Amino acid sequence: MKIILNNTEQIINKETLTVTELLQIRIYTFKMIVVKINGVLIRKPEYDNTQIHDGDQVTVLHLVSGG
């Protein structure tokens, strides 16, 4: 499967992929993460059930707070 992840083309050697699987494969472990697929925000409780499809544009952002 080919996706655009954070504006970079990525090839994932899977035919099906959930948000949770993508985060594990790409080792996104930061607790405060925002995920969008094709511009649509995906809520954390939906990560296990939300499928990423070939050609999707996925954005994963780490939220950092500071003072």
Q: What is the pLDDT of residues 20-34, one digit of tens each?
A: 999 999 999 888 999
What does the pLDDT look like over 10-59, one tens digit per residue?
999 999 999 999 999 999 988 899 999 999 999 999 999 999 999 999 99
pLDDT at 67: 65
Widest CA span in the chain: 43
For residue 16, give the CATH number of its domain.
3.10.20.30
Q: How many domains does the chain have?
A: 1
Task: Tell me, yes or no, whether 9 lies in a domain.
Answer: yes
Structural domain includes residue 18: yes
Residue pair 19/12 in contact (Cβ under 8 Å)? The answer is no
Determine the structural domain holding residue 17 and report its residue range. 2-62
Residue 50's nearest CA partner among 31, 32, 13, 23 is: 23
